[in-house]
Structure formats: structure tokens, C-alpha cells
Chains A and B, each alone.
Chain A
Amino acid sequence: MRTTLGGGAETMSPNGFGQAAALRVEAREQVAENIISLTLADPSGNRLPPWTPGSHIDLILPNGMARQYSLCGNRWDTYHYRIAVLREPNGRGGSEWIHANVDEGDILGYGGPRNHFPMVPAEQYVFIAGGIGITPLISMIEQAVRTGRSWRLLFGGRSRQSMAFLEELERYTEHVHIAPQDEVGLLDLDDWIPGLDPGTKVYCCGPTGLLDVVESACRKCPPYTLHTERFEAPAHESSQDRSFILKLQRSGIELEVEPGTSTLDALSGAGIGIISSCRQGTCGTCEVPVVDGIPDHRDSVLDEVDRQAGDCMIACVSRAHTPQLTLDL
């Protein structure tokens, strides 16, 4: 348990994982037609970084695809993440791959958790979900219950069979309106949006069509009433645990970061000691300045603007999209 400068091989993180972050699939369950849920854990049995409702993780698939999935498990269980994956035959291939290939025991790379859809304090909440859009809302509902806020959920989908978490929602019958399209047609928002009490926040996640309709329905609401999450393809959707070359501009060192070794440990192995703390990408202590190349950000701390700027990265978990990365070290 001792850390010494320059002792790359001996360097061990205080919480026991020196490799780039990975998750092990503990359970795969069919939770609706075309939807599976995956329960994920740290392969060494360590605690996972904490998260808040609305957070997602990036799953990094062995074929290089990186996909974002909302966390929908119990945040008080600090050892497991749970996600739900809808098989999208017309999607970009990530969900198809997961459905076809991922089994219990598999190890997948991951980044995050990050939250671009945070739950803000409110007196009451209106949740509107379309299909798989229920995933981030399920933990928000849990939170609303826990904090004693009043809430309602409008949940639309093609058919009951295609809608996940109906069983979990059964105990909240009086708060939940389930609206399968094959039974009741398209979601009717008229009873939900106009005349909202002040102090109500609306959280909506689902297909673009639904988000557009809800956005226009909320146009007359006070500012900041509506919160939506749109999953859009990130600029760099491929992400792999492949090796890359790290060039250190000031010290003139060049080194290779192997798959399974973190950037931080590679630096330490080369005698460049960077102060770190959490080793989970959550505290930001080991930020390093990037001067060339595109970082593959996998931390939870940098915001979108910092990530896009690409002029720094969190060395304990992040890697490179480009074959080379030059750091100002």
C-alpha cells in the first residue's frame, strides 16, 4: 500500500485499482420486449464512484463504440450500477451489439458517471417518459418519494410489453399514468402541462418527437420549468482501451500507455509524479494540461465546455482518441 515516486509497477492506488476503469457484468435481465438491464460492478469488488439521479455512464464496447446509458439502479448501493438498454435495429449499432454479445461475467470499459440532466430542488415534479426515456426518471422518482415531494409520471410507449419498469411503478398507482400507444394512442399532454402550480419542475426524456411536443407545451411555463435530456451522438463516439503514445513536451519524454494501464500510472512509471486522490475520475486532482491530440475523457468532473476544449484531462481514468497525446509536462 505504499506509493513511491517512479515505481510504476509498485504504484498501487489506495483503493486497489491501478488499471483504467472497467466494469464487470454481474447480471443481464430481460426487462421488457427488446430491453435488457445490466447490473455492473467493479471487477475487483471496489466501490464505484457515486452518482445522482439523471447521471449516465459511457460504456466502452470492445469494438470501439462508446455509448451513454442512464443509471437507473439504487444509488445507495455503492457497489453496483444498473442500466437498461433498448435494442435499436435502426440505431448506430451499439445497442444491437450489447444485446447480441454482452453476457454475465464480461468486462467493459466505462467513463463517468456524469450528469447533464440533474434533478433540481422543486416543490413538485411532473415526469414525462417516452419508451426507454423512463431510465433516468426512475431514480428521480425514487428521489421525489424519498424527499416527500409530490410527483406525477406520464409514461408512454408502444405497448405494455415494450415498456420497462412497469412492475417497479406498480406501487405508485395513484401517481403514475401508463399510456401504451396501442391502447390509448399518442400521449395527451393537455392535462399535464397547462396550469402547472408554480414551483413545479417538468422532467422529460424520450424520443425527439415527444421532447419537441413537450417543449412547445411548456412554452408558457415560467423559465427553467422544463428539463429535458436529448441523447445525441457525441463528437467522438469511438473510444477504446488501445495503447497510445504520450509525449511530454517539457521533459522530452515519450512513452506508451498500454491498454489496462492508466495514463496516471504510465506517467508515474516514467518518473513524472502527478498528485492524485480518488483515482476514479471524480475529484479532478490529477488534471494534466493537454497541448496536442484529442483526449478521451472518462472522468466525472470536467464539464462539457472543458471537454470540448480538450486542453486538459483527468489522468487517472482518461485516455486518447488520437494515436498520440502531447501533454505540457
Chain B
Amino acid sequence: MTTSTTPPQSFSRSDIDPYSLDNLLDRSRVQREVRETAPIVYLNEYGVYATGRYDTIREVFADWPHYQVGAGVGLANFHTEKPWRPPATPTETDPPEHDAPRRVLTEVLGMRALRRLREQWTEEAEEVVDRLLAAGEDIDAMADLASAFPLKVFPDAVGLPAENRNNLLAYGDLVFNAFGPQNEHFHSGAARLTELSQWVTTLCQRESLSPDGFGAKIWEASDRGELTADQAPLVVRSLLSAGIDTTVHGIAAILHAFATNPDEWQRLRSEPQLARRAFDEAVRWASPLQFVFHTTSKRVELEGVELDQHSKVMLLIGAGNRDPRRWDDGDEFTLTRDPSGHLGFGMGLHQCVGQHVARLEAEALLTVLIDKVSHIELAGTPQRGVNNTLQTWKTLPIRLTT
């Protein structure tokens, strides 16, 4: 842990542990305590600063020269600790190294590529939903829908082989656990670390990727010299690390939102054009990515607090996305709200480059469900999953009525 951040006594401190099991199962206590104590809070347990205020989080995101990602977007500070894998590209690179990988990904995941996928994904969604409805009303929305659909369409779009796709979830779980401390949650997945890392490294090679997918397009960019040959597999890896679990849990979040807000489902059915808004509202409300870290590049003042060079700042996205200073009734999921400007996809220079892909996946699925499902309700008590960074469901029993 970093020791360079020793604040003066006058400072707001907290003993709360955002990574304790209780707080991972229910994030509300951490969100509230960090957000309401002060704009900036020093977390004694980990020796890092934290903020849960909407405006402060935005300021850190926007001020990319002062708050960098190159020292890791997790708790580990790469200025003093060696990363467990080569840093993610472009997620954990700052300008100028950030430029080329970001540009290539932006292009590969651009509007035209997505327009081509829209129809195809709606058909795929229809197949998945029809199959489910034929099998019966009660499903585990986590496994049968939220995982099943993205795990089919996204790896296809990347151009991955059909085998072992469930490994992608295990890998993603591991990656996002590793952004937290090396606690039991990290260790529970770490047994497969070497195996899964090797598997993913192999997948990122040109030979593993079908010729027409996002992955191949990234390699083609490196043929044209737009990326180095070393960068290409890391950029492909970023698709696999950041493009699966987050979407899976985003889709689970919206299914949970409708199962627990039946009026909103009826409203969406009568106003299907709200599908995009619904997904963004779910991402705001549930914030699948709960925490992300930036690191100061030099001594800098934030909210009246002097932060030393190379201080880690933990951004509690889930807290900012419900900050009452920004959102009326932020704890409510409602289609009345305009969730524009939520922090669920980050903001600014490093804002999620795949956000439009996630929206398209969710929109395809919602469009089909709107057509075929009149009621969504809980069919049992959902069980939270445990992950250091992501807010997840382990099981989400719901009943779909046609």
C-alpha cells in the first residue's frame, strides 16, 4: 500500500472498509458514509483518498493531466507496486501513450460497425428470449439472460472461438477483483489466474481471431502502423476484460430494476422509445462499476485538500450516481428521470469507449422483451455476487409472463 499519502490531522478520515464482505454485498453504507462525511475522505484502512460526490468525481475525471490512470485504475499504486499483468491499454495509459490505442478502439467500435450489428443482435436476442420462454416462465435472469446474451453476441463480434466462453466471465471476475485489495475475494479467483491469463493471452493473438471481427480490425490497424505489434494484443485484451462483465451486470441491473419496479416496465412497454434511457438509468442506479482509482501526477489541491504527488484517489461511482446534490430521489429507478451525465461509463478522456456497444446490446434485448413479455417480477430472493469492484448478482430469479 502507498505510504506517501499522510494527511494532516484536520482531515476527514474514515475507518470504513469498502471491501469488507458486508459492504460488498450492500454498497449503500460505504456510498453514504464516504459521500456525506466530506468531499474528500481519507480511508485509514487502505491509505487512499476517496470521494463519493458527483461534482468531485467529475472534476477528477475531467482533469486528466492531474489525475492519471497510468498508475493503475485499481487500489495498487504502480509507482510503488508491480502490476500483476501488463497495464491495460488504453484503460491504464495516459496521453501520449493513450492516444493510438484509444483512437483505434474508437474507430473499431464506431457508429458504422454498430449499425451493422443492430439487426443481427436483435435477431439473436429474439432467439435467446424465445428459447427461454419456451422452457417456462421462471428463469435465473443472471445465467439465462444477462450472461447468456452478451456472452453470445459480443465474443462473436470480437471474433472469438466458440469454446470456453464461460471462462470470459471467470477472467473478468478475476480482473475486477484484482482492482481491489488482495483479499479473500481476490484469492478465491486467483487460483485460476495463471491458467486464465494464458488463455486470454492466446485469444488475443491474431491466429485466434476470426477475420471479420473487432479483434482482427485491431490487428489490421497494427499492420497499418497505427499501433505497435506489442499494443495490438493488449488492445484486444481490453475488449475482453472491459467488454463482457460490465455489460452482463448492466443487463442484470436493468432486469432487476424492472422486476422490482413493475410500473416502469409497463411504462416502457407503452413508450418503447425509452429503452435507451432505461438502460442508462439502470447503469446510473446500479452502477455495475462501483469503484475506479486515479492517481495524482503532481501535488494538487482538490476540494481544499492538498494531495501529494502519486496519491491514489478512489472514485465511488455508485455514490456519485446517487448523490442527492445532483439527483432527486437518486435511490429510485425511474424512467421519468433524465439520467444524462451519470458517471457509470466514466467521463472525459477515458470515458468508456465501448459504451455504445453496451447500449446496443441492452437495447436489442429490451426491444425483444418489450414485444414478448407483459410482466417481469421476482420469482425468489436474488443473491448478490461478491466482487471487489463490480456490483453483481449471483442469482436473479425472475418470472417472465408473456
The interface of chain A, by Cβ under 8 A from chain B, is 1-5, 11, 13-15, 47, 50, 52-53, 75-76, 78, 115, 118-122, 143, 146-147, 201, 224, 250, 268, 273, 275-279, 282-285, 287, 301-303, 305-306, 312, 329
The list of the 10 closest CB pairs from A to B, nearest first, reads A14-B341, A224-B225, A276-B340, A3-B338, A52-B99, A76-B65, A121-B228, A275-B280, A143-B96, A120-B226
Q: Are B341 and A3 in contact (CB-based, < 8 A)?
A: yes
Residues in chain A near residue B227, CB distance under 8 A: 120-121
Judge whether A276 and B341 touch: CB under 8 Å.
yes
B95 surroundings in chain A (CB, below 8 A) = 50, 52, 75
**B341/A13 in contact, CB under 8 A:** yes
Contact with A along B323-348 (1 / 0, CB 8 A): 00111100000001111111001011
Q: Judging by beta carbons under 8 Å apart, are B225 and A303 in contact?
A: no
Select which of A3, A47, A301, A329 is within 8 A of B62 by beta carbon: A47
Task: Let me know if B35 is at the binding interface, CB within 8 A.
Answer: no
Which chain A residues lie closer than 8 Å to B341 at the CB level? 3, 13-14, 276-277, 279
Q: In the assembled complex, how far is the CB of residue B366 from the closest CB belonging to chain A, in whole angstroms?
A: 14
**A306 x B110 contact (CB < 8 A):** yes
Instruction: Tell me the dominant secondary structure on chain A's binding face.
Output: loop
Nearest CB on A from B383, distance (A)? 31
**Is there an interface contact between A201 and B225, defined as CB atoms closer than 8 Å?**
yes
Q: Within 8 Å of chain A (Cβ to Cβ): is B97?
A: yes
Chain A hits for B107, CB < 8 A? 303
In the assembled complex, B356 has its CB within 8 A of some CB on chain A: yes
Contact for B351 among A146, A278, A302, A303, CB less than 8 A = A278
A277 close to B351 (CB less than 8 A): yes
Distance A15 CA – B339 CA, assembled complex (angstroms) = 15
Taking the closest CB of chain B, its distance from the CB of A16, in whole angstroms, is: 11
A-B contact pairs, 12 of them (CB 8 A): A2-B328, A13-B341, A118-B100, A146-B96, A250-B273, A275-B280, A276-B341, A285-B340, A287-B111, A301-B110, A303-B110, A312-B111
> Considering the complex, which residues of chain B in the window 209-262 have a beta carbon less than 8 Å from any beta carbon of chain A?
224-228, 231
- A121 touching B231 by the CB < 8 A rule? yes
- In the complex, A148→B287 CA distance in Å? 39
CB distance from A26 to the nearest CB of B (A): 19
Residue of B nearest to A286 (CB): B340
Q: How far is the CB of B136 from chain A (nearest CB, A)?
A: 34
> Is the CB–CB distance between A3 and B111 below 8 Å?
no
**Do B65 and A78 touch (CB < 8 A)?**
yes
Q: How far does the alpha carbon of A76 sit from the alpha carbon of B336 in the complex, in Å?
A: 39
> Does any Cβ of A come within 8 Å of B355's Cβ?
yes
Smallest beta-carbon distance A83→chain B, Å: 20
Q: Are A305 and B276 closer than 8 Å at their CB atoms? A: no
Say yes or no: B277 contacts A1, CB within 8 Å. no
CB pair B100 A275 closer than 8 Å: no
Q: How many angstroms from the CA of A287 to the CA of B355 in the assembled complex?
A: 13
B224 and A275 within 8 A (CB): no
Complex-state Cα separation, A306 to B58, whole angstroms: 30
A78 pairs with B64, CB closer than 8 A: yes
B106, CB-defined interface residue at 8 Å:
yes
Report the Cα distance A303→B106, complex, angstroms: 10
Whether a CB of chain A sits under 8 angstroms from the CB of B130 is no
The verdict on A50 contacting B64 (CB below 8 Å), with A278-B347, A305-B112 known, is yes
